Chain A
């Protein structure tokens, strides 16, 4: 990436702009979680906003916007592919097998309800 004094000064302005965007998107995430979307809409919206925030961090703070080396990009592309596989596979498998799990499968996992405590979520808005 270019690194003259003037270029870095421009970058600093960009960093501040990205910070404002990240802070704003965090507020949007909280507000969106309180909207009653139909079906899995709230999951899609929350992960979409998180994806935009992650892209901003990776592109600007981690300098990928200016990165030209294939030695960095190709491992990341491979990594992104397997990450998508990791996220997709359990969704497909779990929804397929949820109602066909052998009797007692979930009984082996503790399901005690957590005791109440003062650091709770009474004001969560849900």
Chain B
């Protein structure tokens, strides 16, 4: 019995007009919008509903201990990683695998840089100072939102790392299929960037 082959990984599905991996990725991202949307909605509810006076008033910027310089730096890191990700796909479309792989490596390194900054310059000093998610309602929201986002960064690194390493062999067997898989990885990665585009002003600036 021959091994089963996934249909419509390269050619568009006759009904949907797109290859199946792309449709699946977009549907997954739609569910992700709802996941992050629920947490953003909770944040809005807590912030707008916080008392205007008394002990439970929403903390000021001085009390939240968040530096816009660190958040802004990480914003730029993620934006650059989004560009390198889409450039990797473009290089594959132009049949230039070695350049594409280089762009994937840069994306992977930038994702790692984001996490290192997040952990060493934001999370660690806060834990050292005794700040926990249980400290107050702001830090509960901050750690949940940024923690969930950081987990998505880790997930992205696993996938990108796979395509830099063992998954790269697919390029030799089926370059178009490999290119499509990188496009889907890129869709996910741009979504992670997109979430941070909203997290940065909401947590660090407003």
**Cross-chain contact A50 with B206 (CB below 8 angstroms):** no
A120 to chain B: which residues have CB within 8 Å? 62, 65, 67
**Cross-chain contact A69 with B16 (CB below 8 angstroms):** yes
**Cross-chain contact B64 with A117 (CB below 8 angstroms):** no
Nearest chain B residue, comparing its CB with the CB of A92: B48
Known interface pairs A87-B44, A93-B45, A114-B135. Does A126 touch B61 (Cβ–Cβ under 8 Å)? yes
Total B residues in contact with A, Cβ cutoff 8 Å: 78
**Cross-chain contact B125 with A121 (CB below 8 angstroms):** no
Measured in the bound complex, the distance between the Cα atoms of B19 and A3 in whole Å is: 15
What is the distance, in angstroms, from B85's C-beta to the closest C-beta of chain A?
8
What is the distance, in angstroms, from A114's C-beta to the closest C-beta of chain B?
5
**Cross-chain contact A19 with B80 (CB below 8 angstroms):** yes
Looking at the complex, which one of A33, A47, A67, A117 makes contact with B68 (CB distance below 8 Å)? A33
B45 to chain A: which residues have CB within 8 Å? 90, 93-94
B107 to chain A: which residues have CB within 8 Å? none
Q: Does B38 contact A (CB under 8 A)?
A: yes
Known interface pairs A33-B201, A114-B131, A119-B126. Does A72 touch B23 (Cβ–Cβ under 8 Å)? yes
Interface residues on A, range: 35 or more
| Seed contacts A42-B206, A115-B130, A119-B121; 20 additional CB < 8 Å A-B pairs | A29-B200, A30-B205, A33-B206, A47-B198, A61-B85, A62-B187, A86-B34, A90-B48, A94-B44, A98-B49, A98-B50, A98-B52, A101-B49, A112-B135, A114-B59, A114-B131, A118-B125, A120-B65, A121-B64, A124-B68
Residues of A bordering B, CB below 8 Å: 3, 5, 8-9, 11-12, 15-16, 18-19, 22-23, 26, 29-30, 33, 42-43, 46-47, 49-50, 53-54, 57-58, 61-63, 67-72, 75-76, 78-79, 82-83, 86-87, 89-91, 93-95, 97-99, 101, 106-107, 109-126
Question: Can you list 7 residue pairs at the A/B interface with Cβ under 8 Å?
Answer: A19-B83, A47-B201, A57-B197, A111-B55, A117-B65, A117-B128, A121-B61
